[in-house]
């Protein structure tokens, strides 16, 4: 199992907001899982827990065999850098760097050959169809272009686990589809695991599992074999 | 919709019998349009009667009636060309859903039961979208690979065209399912407001 959540609950503001309640979830390697649900239902919180950016108030999060709650902050950072590709709802690009530098950043910190890193960064920017925008800074890019830079950056470390929060939210439907095709192909070809939060039914349909959250709980799960499970 | 023109179009490729027509139709539109043999044969009879198609050959088969092979006539080709450039009907599709009727009588039952049906319907559509998308992904992938491995331009164009037709058809089914899904979600919220 690549991702396991055992009885995970999370709250904010000292218990005033129950963001997640008793979540149990197993995700196998090579699965593409979509998380749907109304605004405020806990989707981003769930993603942050899997990324180890937040520790749950209750329950265990186990990713690639690591008990995230038991890792030191240092180990957690290292774990994330090696194993997790993150595409946030806000793209978190560094404003003073070009698109290419932003994409290269995750590996530069690691101190690898700059020439190789650059080649890989350029390759990824071509994949997301930004060949002619590599030297632009974020404020010189459209919203959808910034989103694609963030996607390329998330693919940079070849992480086995990809976590994406609305990765196609700012894209028109054809560009969004190209990205989803690319992501699904990556998942299938390289047996990676992908968890994607989305409001868009057409994006969610690219997944082989769709999990719906309501008020911090899993209210429904759909699988590609079209069996319908309504709780 | 025009089964007549679909058959005329398929017959422009080469003479075919009913089975060929069914197979070629299913290859391209089978995902969204279930055409049965009965419709094919009655339409063929009408096309022959109107002189748009003619009997081309008959192949005898053991224990079975002869296999009739049809071909398009020149007036059939004219009819097809005429239809292709005809403007589409300028009117929206009619919308009819059983849910409208149920809402009319919602006071007769617990509204929660109607909401439950809406949620189930929503799941059915969502699962349907997953299947359609999966088909689309498979078709797109095998077309991309076939194009990469082909050096013959005509063949490449044929693959491109078939890919385009399949994807456009599946997109239509997907966008309609999506519209239904959004409408169901919206209606669910409306009904909740009411109760
Ligand atoms: N840092 C925080 N402090 C306090 N409450 C928070 C915090 N982050 C999220 N929440 C609350 O937790 C709940 C779940 O939030 P979350 O961001 O997971 O929702 P979401 O499903 O991602 O919504 P959206 O679709 O709008 O992005 C919400 O009610 C939100 O207000
Ligand atoms: Mg969110």
CA angle centred on A140, ends A138 and A143, rounded to 5°: 65
Q: What is the pLDDT of residue A225?
A: 53
Which residues approach ligand 1 with their CB closer than 6 A? A 12-13, 17, 19, 37, 39-45, 89
The answer to whether residue B68 is domain-embedded is yes
Scored b (16 or more CB within 10 A) or e, A188-209 reads eeeebbbbbbbebbbbbbbbbb
Residue B50: inside a domain: yes
How many angstroms from the chain centroid is the CA of residue B24?
12
Residue B92 lies in a domain: no
Say if residue B102 is in the same domain as residue B189: yes
A188 vs A61: which has the higher pLDDT:
A61
State the pLDDT at residue A228: 43
Q: Which one of the ligands is nearest to A88 CA?
A: 2
What average pLDDT does chain B have?
Answer: 89
Spatial distance between the Cα atoms of B177 and B164, rounded to a whole number of angstroms: 20
The bridge status of strand A161-165 relative to strand A84-87 is: parallel
Residues in chain B closer than 8 A to A206 (CB atoms): 133, 137
Q: Quick check: is A230 in a domain?
A: no
Q: Average pLDDT in the A7-35 region?
A: 93
B60 with B114, same domain: the answer is no
Flag whether A229 is in a domain. no
Alpha helices by DSSP H, listed for chain A, are 43-50, 73-83, 99-108, 114-127, 143-155, 173-189, 201-204
Q: Is the pLDDT score of A227 beyond 70?
A: no
pLDDT at residue B1 in the model: 57
Does A149 reside within a domain? yes
Closest B-chain CA to A207: B130
Candidate from A12, A38, A213 with most ligand 1 atoms within 8 A of CB, to mutate: A12
The pLDDT of residue A231 is 38
Domain-embedded: residue A212: yes
The answer on B116 and B80 residing in a single domain is no
The whole-number average pLDDT for the span B11-34 is: 89
Domain CATH for A88: 3.40.50.300
Q: Is the pTM of this model over 0.80?
A: yes
Looking at the domain assignment, is residue A231 inside a domain?
A: no
CA of residue B127 to ligand 2 center, whole Å = 23
In a domain, B60, yes or no: yes
Q: Are residues B80 and B105 in the same domain?
A: no
Same domain, B114 and B53: no
Same domain, B145 and B73: no
| Residue A113 distance to chain B (closest CA, Å) | 32
Dist. CA A151–CA B53, nearest whole Å:
55
pLDDT digits (tens, 9 = 90+) for A158-177: 899 999 999 988 888 888 89
Mean pLDDT of A175-196: 90
If asked whether residues B81 and B144 sit together in one domain, one would say: no
Q: Which residues of A touch B117 (CB under 8 A)?
A: none
Q: Name residue B61's beta-bridge partners.
A: B64
Residues B69, B22: one domain?
Answer: yes
- Domain count within chain A: 1
In a domain, B91, yes or no: no
B75-83 LR contacts (CB < 8 Å, sep 24+) = B75/B51, B76/B8, B76/B11, B76/B47, B76/B51, B76/B52, B77/B8, B77/B12, B79/B5, B79/B8, B79/B52, B80/B5, B80/B8, B80/B9, B80/B12, B83/B2, B83/B5, B83/B8
Q: Which ligand is nearest to the CA of A21?
A: 1
Question: Which of the residues B122, B127, B131, B143 would you substitute to probe the A interface, choosing the one with the greatest number of A C-beta atoms within 10 Å?
Answer: B127
The reply to whether B117 and B189 lie within a common domain is: yes
For residue range B24-79, list pLDDT tens digits in order. 998 888 877 889 999 999 999 999 999 999 999 998 888 888 889 999 999 999 99
Is residue B136, in this structure, part of any structural domain at all?
A: yes
What CATH number should be reported for the domain holding residue B174? Answer: 1.20.58
Residues B58 and B111 in one domain: no
pLDDT in tens, A100-110: 999 998 887 76
Tell me: do B182 and B103 sit in the same domain: yes
Inter-chain residue contact B137 with A206, CB threshold 8 Å: yes
Asked whether residue B115 falls in the same domain as residue B157, the answer is yes
Cβ neighbours around A9 below 10 Å, total: 16
Q: Chain A within 8 Å of B132 (Cβ-Cβ)?
A: yes
Contact A208, B131 (CB under 8 A): no
Neighbours of A183 (CB within 10 A): 25
Report the pLDDT value the prediction gives residue A16, as an integer from 0 to 100.
84
Report residue B113's pLDDT band, with 50, 70 and 90 as the boundaries: confident
Q: How many CA atoms lie within 13 A of B74 on its CB side?
A: 0
**Distance (Å, whole) CA A24 – CA A60:** 9
Q: In chain A, which residues touch B (CB < 8 A)?
A: 181, 184-185, 201-202, 204-208, 210, 220, 222, 224, 226-228, 230
Number of structural domains, chain B? Answer: 2
Domain presence at residue B25: yes
Show the domain range for B160.
98-194
φ, ψ at A187 (rounded to 5°): -60, -45
Give the Cα separation of A203 and A89 in Å (integer).
Answer: 15
Domain range for residue A131?
A: 3-223
According to the model, what pLDDT value does residue A226 have? Answer: 39
């Amino acid at each position: 199992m690549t991702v396991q959540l055992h009885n995970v609950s999370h709250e904010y503001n000292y218990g005033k907001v129950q963001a997640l309640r008793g979540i149990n979830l197993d995700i196998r390697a090579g699965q593409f899982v979509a998380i749907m649900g109304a605004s405020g239902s806990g989707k981003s919180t769930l993603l942050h827990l899997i990324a180890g950016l937040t520790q749950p108030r209750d329950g265990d999060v186990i990713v690639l065999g690591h008990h995230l709650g038991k890792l030191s902050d240092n180990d957690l950072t290292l774990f994330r850098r090696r194993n997790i590709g993150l595409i946030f709802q806000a793209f978190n690009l560094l404003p003073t760097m070009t698109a290419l530098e932003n994409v290269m950043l995750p590996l530069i910190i690691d101190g690898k050959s700059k020439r190789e890193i650059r080649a890989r960064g350029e390759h990824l920017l071509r994949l997301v169809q930004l060949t002619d925008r590599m030297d632009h800074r974020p404020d010189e890019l459209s919203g959808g272009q910034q989103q694609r830079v963030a996607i390329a950056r998330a693919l940079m470390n070849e992480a086995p686990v990809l976590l994406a929060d609305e990765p196609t939210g700012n894209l028109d439907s054809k560009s969004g589809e190209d990205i989803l095709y690319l992501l699904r192909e990556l998942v299938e070809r390289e047996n990676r695991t992908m968890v994607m939060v989305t409001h868009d039914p057409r994006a969610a349909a690219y997944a082989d599992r769709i999990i719906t959250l309501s008020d911090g709980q899993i209210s429904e799960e759909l699988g590609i074999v079209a069996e319908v499970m309504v709780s | 919709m025009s089964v007549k023109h679909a058959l005329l179009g398929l017959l422009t490729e080469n003479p075919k019998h009913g089975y060929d027509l069914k197979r070629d139709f299913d290859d391209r539109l089978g995902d969204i349009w279930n055409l049965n043999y009965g419709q094919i044969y009655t339409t063929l009879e009408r096309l022959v009667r109107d002189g748009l198609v003619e009997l081309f050959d008959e192949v005898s088969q053991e224990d079975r009636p002869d296999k009739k092979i049809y071909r398009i006539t020149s007036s059939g080709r004219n009819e097809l060309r005429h239809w292709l450039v005809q403007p589409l009907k300028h009117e929206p599709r009619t919308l009819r859903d059983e849910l409208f009727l149920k809402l009319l009588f919602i006071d007769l039952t617990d509204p929660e039961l109607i909401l439950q049906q809406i949620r189930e319907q929503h799941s059915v559509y969502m699962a349907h979208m997953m299947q359609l998308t999966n088909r689309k992904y498979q078709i797109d992938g095998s077309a991309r690979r076939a194009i990469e491995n082909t050096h013959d331009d005509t063949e490449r164009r044929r693959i491109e065209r078939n890919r385009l037709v399949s994807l456009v058809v599946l997109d239509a089914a997907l966008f309609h399912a999506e519209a239904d899904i959004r409408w169901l979600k919206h209606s669910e919220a409306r009904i909740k407001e009411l109760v």
